Amino acid sequence: MRKPAPKPGPQGGAGAKLLFAMTGKASAAKAAEGDGPVFAYIASLPQPQRSIAERVDALAARTLPDLQRAVKWGMAYYGVGGGWCFASGAFVGHLKLMFIRGTEMKPEPPVAPIRMGKATRGVELVSVDDLDEYRVASWMKQAAANPFVGGKKR
Where in the chain are the domains? 30-145
* Phi, psi at 119, each rounded to 5°: -95, -10
Per-residue pLDDT tens over the stretch 101-125:
999 999 999 998 887 789 999 999 9
Question: Could you read off the pLDDT of 60-87 as tens digits, one per residue?
Answer: 999 999 999 999 989 999 999 989 999 9
**Percent of the chain at pLDDT exceeding 70:** 79
Q: What is the pTM of this model?
A: 0.79
- Candidates 3.40.50.300, 3.40.50.10800, 3.90.1150.200, 3.20.20.10; correct CATH number of 30-145? 3.90.1150.200
pLDDT of residue 31: 85
